[in-house]
């Protein structure tokens, strides 16, 4: 993989065995280089020309780390954040959709910038301007998402309305053992034909606050259930 150190023997065999299979589980204890392996897998999946790859993980930190690694391979990556997190800055700001929209060089950009500045200045826009702002923003977001090789977001983020019309045949779920099964399904039902789950079921499972739900089986991740099923 360009821009990557040489993978070790077990990482190489993990990548090789995953690529031809429709469903794979990769288990790796802490410090075994799961993130690098995941990024290498995503790189090779993207090169199979089956359309865009969806990469999801239950936590924002995990998504950010993986986004950074995948970006280092030279693929076009877009990190989709929840609207509520757009104000939170991170090391991969330049790869986030909301920042890309504002830094893109398109004929609409100037108008979008003006409206954004006006909105920040006045708190809200008049109805006609607000409509125009939303249309321009949605159009630019759609173009950026469609141009990406890989879209990274949280498990729940995969249900974002901005991705509603997208279909992903290849899906990789990182930290899959910390996600509830229902969380994982959000990304999987978007057309997955090839699914890779990466995690370690010997570590902490999903955090479920509701005791009833936990008892009913939500504490068991999809990864662990599949491991137990052999």
Dump pLDDT digits (tens) for 89-113. Answer: 888 999 999 889 888 777 777 788 8
Query: Measured between alpha carbons, how far is 206 from 220 in angstroms, rounded to an integer?
Result: 7
Contacts of 123 (CB under 8 A, 6+ apart): none
Count of alpha carbons within 13 angstroms of residue 177, beta-carbon side: 18
> In DSSP terms, which residues pair with 199 in a beta bridge?
27
The model's pTM: 0.93
Query: Measured between alpha carbons, how far is 51 from 58 in angstroms, rounded to an integer?
Result: 23
Q: Give the residue carrying structure tokens 């009833």.
A: 212
Sheet holding 150-154, edge to edge: 23-27, 194-199, 170-173, 53-57, 150-154, 77-79
Candidates 156, 159, 198; CA nearest to 177 is 198
Q: Report pLDDT digits (tens) over 106-134.
A: 777 778 888 888 888 888 888 888 899 88
CA dihedral 79, 182, 27, 153 (to 10 degrees): 0
Q: Report pLDDT digits (tens) over 177-193.
A: 999 999 999 999 999 99
């Amino acid at each position: 993989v360009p821009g990557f150190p040489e993978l070790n023997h077990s990482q190489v065999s993990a990548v090789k065995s995953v690529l031809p299979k429709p469903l794979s589980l990769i288990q790796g204890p802490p410090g075994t280089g799961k993130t690098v392996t995941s990024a290498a897998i995503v790189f090779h999946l993207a090169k199979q020309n089956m359309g865009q790859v969806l990469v999801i993980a239950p936590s924002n930190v995990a998504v950010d780390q993986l986004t950074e690694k995948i970006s280092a391979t030279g693929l076009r990556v877009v990190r989709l954040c929840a609207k509520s997190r757009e104000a939170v800055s991170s090391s991969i700001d330049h790869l986030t959709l909301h920042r890309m929209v504002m830094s893109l060089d398109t004929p609409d950009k100037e108008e979008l910038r003006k409206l954004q500045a006006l909105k920040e200045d006045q708190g809200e826009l008049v109805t006609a301007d607000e409509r125009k702002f939303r249309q321009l923003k949605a159009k630019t977001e759609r173009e950026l998402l469609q141009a990406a090789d890989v879209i990274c977001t949280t498990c729940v983020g995969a249900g974002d309305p901005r991705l509603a019309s997208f279909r992903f045949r290849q899906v990789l779920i990182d930290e899959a053992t910390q996600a509830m099964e229902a969380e994982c399904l959000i990304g999987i039902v978007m057309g997955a034909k090839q699914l890779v789950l990466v995690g370690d079921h010997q570590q902490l499972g999903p955090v479920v606050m509701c005791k009833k739900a936990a008892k009913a089986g939500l504490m068991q991740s999809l990864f662990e259930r599949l491991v137990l099923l052999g």
